[in-house]
A and B are shown apart, each in its own frame.
Chain A
Amino acid sequence: MGDSGVDTSQLLKGVLDLAVLAVLAERDSYGYDVVRRLREGGLSAVGDASVYGTLRRLHQSGALSSYAVASDEGPHRKYYCLNDRGRALLDRSSTAWCGVTRALETLLNGRGCGG
């Protein structure tokens, strides 16, 4: 129905938590750095507000901890990092994700990811 951009952003909604957790599992980051790394990782359609809102929600729900780091260029940066709850959530989510992708690969029957 819609163009590919709309489809991608719809799909992203479901997996943004997982993507953010995965990026932070690699190393601690501040908000805009997470956005940049997700885009560099291939999620070019990801919205700044969506990432920022997701970070705040994961932080509120206790999956992320944060700390302030002084920055040369301006005000301090708030760095986010995974805590035990966040790591457990990432484990559960990635297991679920793998199940879904395997199922979809079968369903798409080799049609996906080609063009």
Chain B
Amino acid sequence: MDVRQYAAAVRAALGGLDPRAAAHLLDDLEEHLAEVAAESDVPLAERLGPPESYAAELLAAYASGGAPVRSRPARRRRLAASAASVVLVLLAAVGFATWQLAARTEKVNPWSYDRLTTQARAGQVSRVEVTGDDVVAIDRAGQRHDVVDAAPVGDLAQTMTREGVDVVFQPAASSAYWAAVLLPNLLLLVAPALVVGLAVFVAVLLRRPRPRPGTG
């Protein structure tokens, strides 16, 4: 085992070390070993012991009392954990927003136009919301009903007003409306891609780092 081979084996044994710490620790390892080798004909492994023990002793002396030497896997694990928590929080936020939206727009059994007028006459309708062509009736209990096959909006408004029902016109497809409907759904679509991306990211981070000969 010559100097190059011995040094390579020492570097390999320290493969899990933070690359910057390793680069600093092993800065002139080859030159140093060359000095040791030049002094005697006895093979390096015989004089210094196996490269793995040499690496362990080197690291022990380097890490004792001095700057903490952090291994790369530990740092990677922390990075992966924080990335995972960010995505989890994001997913929770999307889930919450979607649930809110669903709760707000929950519509129980749709009403026909006849049903609407009957209910309005009976005083069971508290409000009618008109959004473009969509008509939604809100009954006294606060439940929302899609009104299917509604009369032209003008007629409907007249009839409802006559029965003492408030008619609220909402601007159709305002940017705020679309933002409220589209954004959470868009995020929901993106979420699986995020999860897959995270899985790949974590896999890359946790892959065992390979020793890089020639550093430093």
| A residues apposed to B, CB below 8 Å | 13, 16-17, 30-33, 35, 47-54, 56-58, 60-61, 73-78
Contact = CB atoms under 8 A, between A and B. Distances in A.
Contacts of B1: none
B59 interface: yes
B35 A30 contact: yes
A58 B65 CA distance: 10
Contacts, number: 76
A51 B62 CA distance: 9
27 contacts: A30-B32, A31-B28, A33-B35, A47-B57, A48-B48, A49-B54, A50-B57, A50-B58, A50-B60, A52-B29, A52-B32, A52-B58, A53-B25, A53-B59, A53-B60, A53-B62, A56-B25, A57-B61, A57-B62, A57-B64, A57-B65, A60-B66, A61-B67, A74-B34, A74-B38, A75-B30, A77-B35
A49 B57 contact: yes
Given A17-B65, A48-B48, A49-B61, A56 B31 contact: no
B27 interface: yes
A49 B28 contact: no
Contacts of A16: 61
Contact-residue size bin, chain B (C-beta under 8 Å from the other chain) = 20 to 34
A54 B27 CA distance: 13
